[in-house]
Structure 1
Amino acid sequence: MIRFTLLTMALVTLIGLTSWSDMIVDGEIDDWTNVANIVEDGQDMKDSSGDIKLIQAAVDSSNLYLRMSVYGVVAPLADQTPAGMKNRYYYHWIIDADNDPATGFNNSAYEGNATNLKNPIGVETVVMIGWRDGKPNGIEAYQALDDDQKLAADYEYAASGDTLEAVIPLKALGLTEGSTVGFSAFQEGASDDWAVDWVESIDLKLVPEATAVKAKGKLATTWSKLKRR
């Protein structure tokens, strides 16, 4: 009887804390609220819109989910553009697919300028969302060393307030569940002479991990392990 009771309690706990559902790409952050491991970035751009605040990533057995939040508005309408700035923003999540900074595009420098990143990565894969004059301007993933080599286009994404979300199949990016990749991001916009906003990198293990995440109005979901370098 004791054994049965303990088993029942364990099942109730499991059902209460780890009921799974797919992540919803809707521009809302409910899914991400209790994800402890994120990369945060300070406000350091002249343009208040498009200045990266944080990035996150999550996986299930077949998809990579991405989040980016900014200071200000992530996809401003033309009349929401700060005075003196230009409505043209290009958001990039970048992935070091083999987790080796010696291969791919090393982001310690960009267009001849040092990025001053503490943990640069060797980028093989770029997932980009472009925004210009209040409209999408390029929704695509491509190889970092040859941006003509497209990996995916018009994948599912959402923008709301300060947040972008996207989902893209691991297979489309050439990624394999169980591997560890380097993960970072940058934003390059037309304001302030095309200044670039870089984010430090983390190690991202592409393994779904059960955690007790309860989102408002949604079931819990499965998150990847994120580890600071």
Structure 2
Amino acid sequence: MHTHPLKIGVLIGSVRAGRFADKVADWFVSEARKREDMEIHVIDLAEPALAAELGLRVDGSGDHSGGGSGGDSGDDSGGDSGEDSGGQSRDAPRLAQRIGEVDAFVVVTPEYNHGYPAALKLALDHVHREWQAKPVGFVSYGGMAGGQRAVEQLRQVFAELHAVTVRDTVSFHMAWEQFDERGRPRDPEGVGKAAAVLLDQLAWWGITLREGRTARAYAG
């Protein structure tokens, strides 16, 4: 047993009712919790307290339709993120605390119209310094692209937030066909290997950056 396991925040980026994110996130969390070097914390934007803090309306008809674009025609509803807070996280204290308490992140995101959910963007913009000098991995799902176009956009956003994104991802192409009626992947070995690679990279970056933040203040 590791004395100081990495605290990993699994951030669920969809807030739609009937969302497919639950199946994807539940599977990934179960994989991550097999590791003794990690402590998993789920950060679900659909949680009432977080949704209320961000001004999100949690409703809709689900996020598992797609076709070629790999996503719905709508977006997650949410309020204005407001003015730049100057690097402070005063407008979303609950979310900022949850983000600040963990060492690394895995973002579970669908792809909507070649992009990621508006609710996820709102959450990213409401927190600032708590993201800094921490690694981020991605588990995506969608249509033919498997959510990868959403991930590529998120890499740019996290770079601006001074976070480090890991190379390898887990993606589910035509995601609703990849899980059985029990919510289990139809190819557990293949996606399990992909998850292991992502978590190994996240562990390396997580330990390295945690030691760096402990040794000296980040220059951002």
TM over 0.5, yes or no?
no
Higher strand share: 1
Q: Normalising to structure 1: TM-score of the pair?
A: 0.24
Q: Normalising to structure 2: TM-score of the pair?
A: 0.25
Higher radius of gyration, 1 or 2: 1
Q: Comparing both chains, which one has the higher relative contact order based on Cα–Cα distances under 8 Å and sequence gaps of 6 or more? A: 1
Higher helix share: 2
